[in-house]
Amino acid sequence: MSNIPEYLPFGRHTVRMVTINSVPKFAAIDISDILGYEKSNKMLRRFCISMPEYIRLETSGGPQYVRMIDVDDLQAILARCRHKNVGWLQNWLENVILPAIKPRRNLLAELFVLISVGVN
């Protein structure tokens, strides 16, 4: 199964995001580019709490497997990284992205409860 990512603008950069089972996941390579890491593996080893997963994304160049991280890992990276863009990225995440995602996550959670109650 493949996923079509949402392209979220961040200054001159774009961050790809997919939502799987009401959990938003962000492309690790996009975050590492913003924070100045040449390779996302170094950033992930240093700062991530959980294991990032590879998700197949539909891109303009065809399907690609992209390493994705969830919000908790992104916040862990921002809490420990010392790059100059951390403040801007954290502000963007907290004031733009999370408020936009929260209504969707709550709606999906409510739908899951309604479906669960209806099945029993």
Give residue-wise pLDDT tens across range 89-102: 999 988 888 888 76
* 32-36, 56-60, 109-113: the lowest-pLDDT one: 109-113
More confident residue, 100 or 9: 9
**What is the phi/psi pair of residue 83, to 5°?**
-70, 155
**What is the phi/psi pair of residue 73, to 5°?**
-65, -40
pLDDT band at 1; cut points 50, 70, 90: very low
pTM: 0.78
- The residue-averaged pLDDT of 69-96 equals 90
Residues 6+ apart with CB under 8 A from 112: 22
pLDDT at 120: 44
- Residue 69: closest CA among 78, 60, 82, 61: 78
